[in-house]
């Protein structure tokens, strides 16, 4: 796929996805992408999600190495890959490394890298990352060998571990399927594992250099660093897999249970003028919640609140103040002053969420927590300043920080946090697979906060609105796939619409109160500067229209490819949103439910009228063919 118009329709950018090459050594296979391995399989069983040599900068941004001298050899015994790569920092730092990857049919995979800094090279991390899948592996037994030779029998975490489940690692053995044992041995440094589901990555990550050591650190010029990962697969005779690549994907409806959440949109002070200019589009979406971000440490004052009030006069919705508490003075004094500004601005509020400013920065394991008033003092001050409002708390950053600094939920009317899929990786597969982590996140939040505690998520978008791990989010003027980017082009393409739909599906079982999915305008917006709408506009509009309806569980036979949600209206209609999460066409069959379905399909063929705000509806259908990243709204009467 290289046609620029098609690329822009799918991804919001004409930058093509990186080239992939499937390598095979007997039943062992992997994809080679940008010099690293992903989708490592034995037959049809995914045994590892990825093995990559990753170089991070001082803000935890990931270098995209320049690769040359690539050589690939394949024969009946397996494959070998070699290449040279170069990373250069904006300040002139330069690192060159040589990589060798060898796969053998007997079930061994070796990935070795020798890195030589050409200058002193500052980095937060430089070395191998090994990703284990989560679905089907969470909670299962593993054997961990440590650097001192000791061996631990343990299990991969089921609920998300806020810290490292395993440290000082030399090797780990897991069993992805009966009769299949996979041992991954890491050499050249000390490794440890973190539960990447914290950041909505669909993986457990084993990485080099313990977090307890200082970072950033400097790789000295001219000093070679060598690391090696060896994977051995032991398969019991007769272990086979099945392939059903040509089958249609079935969707099965269950009995109604619970209700659909409110749909929320973000309002930021710098976007209120553009939002006011787009109030007709805002009215068309008709969100139930508008989340107003207010941060005095960023210079927000009464003018920001007056902007929110102007929007409130034009749009009926629940208004929630997302209030960063500076904590430079007593919280009671600061929040009382903010309450006075709200009154002066005549901003009608229904709820407020509060979080101290220092908690917008992450405190990694082993680091000293910054000085901050205790949560109960901040929540008590918020209650006193805003006695008539519902009070929310948790984190304005990600579940990671929520998990590590768990709020006293009994003091709150609801808990909240965000997610972002591009903290660690920004390739299409990783972003879409991040949806797999969401049920683990919501289940972990419910375990922390207590059953029945009201729960809100968002704003959760592909792009990163705030970087808790560095000094800034990454500028992205060339509209690339970039980790920690302040703007992501896929938000503006069909990919973004499919991802938003999948997000709503994956959090549905948690029975959350409200899901905030985007802003009205700006880099996280649903409306462009010219007034046209992005594909995800139609998903947000559809989700808003379902708020409060009975939720009808919808099971996909292949949730890694197609996800769907369904709801029943008071008139008895069943309404379904279906998303193709892949870059290839998929055929859908609905195997339960009565009546015939009419469909409005959002894909590259309907994109132009969709950008004007109109989504055509097709004739009645029993089966549906979805183009890449297409979203369909189905109605059964």
543 domain residue, yes or no: yes
**Residue finishing a domain among 547, 568, 595:** 547
Query: Do 373 and 276 share a domain, yes or no?
Result: yes
pLDDT band at 202 (very low <50, low <70, confident <90, very high): very high
Last residue of a domain, one of 182, 201, 235: 235
Is residue 317 a part of any domain in this protein?
A: yes
Residues 484 and 572 reside in one and the same domain? no
Is a pLDDT exceeding 80 seen at residue 618?
no
Share of the chain above pLDDT 90, in %: 86
Tell me how far apart the alpha carbons of residues 388 and 352 are, in angstroms, rounded to a whole number: 10
Range of the domain at 478: 261-547
Q: Are 539 and 563 within one domain?
A: no
What is the pLDDT confidence band of residue 470, given thresholds at 50, 70 and 90?
confident
Domain end residue (candidates: 513, 547, 581): 547
* Same domain (yes/no): 194, 295: no
Q: Reply yes or no on whether the pLDDT at 242 is more than 60.
A: no
CATH number at residue 198: 2.70.98.10
Residue in the structure block whose two tokens are 């299962």: 140
Question: Does residue 241 have a pLDDT over 60?
Answer: no
> What pLDDT, on a 0 to 100 scale, did the predictor assign at position 244?
57
Residue 254 within any structural domain of the chain: no
Residue 250 lies in a domain: no
Q: What is the CATH number of the domain that holds 405?
A: 3.20.20.80
Q: Do 269 and 407 fall within a single domain?
A: yes
**Is residue 246 a part of any domain in this protein?**
no
Tell whether 183 is covered by a domain. yes
Residues 607 and 278: their CA atoms lie apart, in Å, by 20
Q: How many CB atoms lie within 10 A of CB 204?
A: 26
DSSP secondary structure of 582-619: SSS-EEEEE-S-SS-EEEEEESTTSHHHHHHT---EEE
252 within some domain: no
Tell me the three state secondary structure of residue 550: strand
What string of DSSP letters covers 64-89? --EEEEEEEEEETTEEEEEEEEEEE-
pLDDT at 198: 97
Task: Tell me, yes or no, whether 114 and 202 share the same domain.
Answer: yes
Please write the tens of the pLDDT for every residue from 96-129.
Answer: 999 999 999 999 999 999 999 999 999 999 999 9
pLDDT bracket for residue 243 (50, 70, 90): low
Record the tokens describing residue 125, joined without a space.
């991390």
**Chain mean position to CA 299:** 29
Residue 69 region by backbone torsions, left for phi larger than 0, else alpha for psi between -120 and 50, else beta: left
Could you give the 3-state DSSP secondary structure of residue 372? Answer: coil
CB atoms inside a 10 Å sphere around CB 430: 21
Same structural domain for residues 314 and 198?
Answer: no
C-alpha pair distances (Å), 204 with each of 42, 63, 135, 193, 570: 19, 21, 11, 7, 43
Q: Which residues contact 298 (CB under 8 A, 6 or more apart)?
A: 324
Within this chain, do residues 267 and 368 fall inside the same structural domain, yes or no?
Answer: yes
One domain, residues 152 and 294: no
103 plus 211 within the same structural domain:
yes
Q: Are both 522 and 627 inside the same structural domain?
A: no
Per-residue pLDDT at 622 exceeds 70: no
The structural domain count of the chain equals 3
**Quick one: 266 and 405 in the same domain?**
yes
Tell me if 15 is assigned to some domain.
no
- Distance between CA atoms of residues 103 and 23, nearest Å: 8
Residue 596 has pLDDT above 80, yes or no: no
Instruction: Give me the CATH number covering residue 563.
Output: 2.60.40.1180
Strands, DSSP E only, in 43-140? 45-56, 66-75, 78-88, 94-104, 108-117, 121-123, 125-132
DSSP strand pairing (574-580 vs 554-556): unpaired
């Amino acid at each position: 796929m290289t046609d620029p118009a098609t690329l822009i329709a799918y991804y919001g950018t004409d930058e093509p996805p990186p080239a992939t090459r499937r390598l095979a050594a007997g039943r062992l296979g992997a994809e080679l992408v940008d010099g690293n391995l992903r989708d490592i399989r034995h037959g049809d069983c995914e045994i590892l999600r990825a093995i990559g040599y990753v170089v991070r900068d001082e803000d935890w941004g990931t270098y995209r190495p320049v690769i040359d001298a690539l050589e690939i050899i394949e024969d009946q015994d397996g494959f070998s890959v070699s290449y040279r790569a170069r990373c250069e920092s904006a300040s002139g730092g330069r690192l060159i490394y040589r990589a060798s990857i060898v796969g053998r049919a007997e079930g061994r995979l070796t990935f070795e890298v020798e890195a030589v800094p050409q200058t002193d090279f500052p980095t937060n991390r430089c070395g191998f990352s090994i990703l284990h899948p989560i679905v089907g592996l969470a909670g299962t037994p593993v054997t961990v060998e440590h650097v001192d030779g000791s061996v631990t029998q343990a299990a991969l975490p089921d609920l998300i571990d806020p810290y490292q489940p395993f440290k000082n690692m030399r090797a780990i053995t897991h069993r992805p399927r009966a009769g299949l044992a996979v041992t991954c041995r890491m050499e050249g440094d000390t490794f440890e594992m973190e539960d990447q589901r914290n950041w909505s990555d669909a993986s457990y990550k084993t990485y080099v250099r313990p977090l307890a050591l200082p970072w950033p650190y400097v790789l000295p010029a001219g000093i070679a660093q060598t690391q090696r990962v060896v994977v051995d697969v032991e398969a019991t005779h007769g272990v086979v897999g099945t392939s059903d690549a040509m089958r249609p994907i079935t969707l099965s409806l269950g009995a109604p249970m619970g209700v659909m959440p409110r749909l929320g949109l973000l309002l930021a002070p710098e976007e209120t003028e553009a939002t006011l200019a787009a109030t007709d589009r805002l009215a068309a979406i008709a969100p139930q919640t508008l989340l107003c971000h207010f941060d005095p440490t960023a210079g927000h004052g009464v003018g920001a609140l007056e902007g929110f009030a102007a929007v409130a006069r034009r749009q009926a919705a629940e208004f929630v103040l997302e209030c960063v508490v500076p904590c430079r003075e007593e919280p009671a004094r600061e929040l009382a002053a903010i309450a006075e500004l709200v009154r002066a601005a005549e901003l009608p509020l229904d709820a407020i969420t509060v979080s101290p400013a220092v908690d917008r920065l992450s405190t990694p394991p082993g680091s000293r927590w910054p000085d901050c008033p205790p949560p109960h003092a901040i929540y008590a001050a918020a209650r006193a300043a805003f006695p008539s409002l519902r009070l929310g708390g948790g984190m304005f950053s990600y579940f990671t920080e929520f998990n590590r600094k768990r709020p006293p939920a009994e003091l709150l009317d609801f808990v909240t946090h965000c997610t972002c899929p591009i903290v660690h990786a920004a390739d299409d597969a990783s972003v879409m697979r991040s949806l797999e982590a969401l049920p683990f996140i919501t289940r972990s939040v419910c375990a922390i906060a207590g059953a029945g505690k009201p729960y809100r998520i968002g704003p959760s978008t592909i792009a990163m609105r705030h970087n808790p791990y560095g000094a800034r989010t990454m500028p992205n003027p060339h509209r690339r796939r970039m980790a920690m980017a302040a703007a992501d082009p896929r938000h503006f393409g069909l990919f973004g619409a499919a991802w938003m739909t999948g997000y709503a599906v994956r959090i549905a079982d948690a029975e959350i109160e409200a899901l905030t999915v985007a802003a009205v305008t700006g880099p996280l917006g649903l409306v462009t500067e010219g007034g046209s709408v992005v594909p995800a506009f139609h998903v947000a509009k559809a989700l808003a229209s379902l708020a409060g309806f009975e939720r009808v569980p919808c099971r996909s036979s292949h949730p890694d490819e197609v996800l769907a949600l369904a709801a029943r209206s008071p008139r008895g209609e069943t309404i379904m949103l279906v998303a193709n999460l892949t870059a290839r066409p998929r055929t859908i069959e609905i195997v339960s439910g009565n009546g015939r379905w009419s469909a409005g399909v959002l894909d590259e063929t309907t994109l132009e009228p969709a950008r004007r705000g109109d989504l055509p509806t097709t004739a009645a259908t029993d089966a549906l063919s979805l183009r890449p990243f297409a979203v369909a709204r189905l109605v059964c009467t």
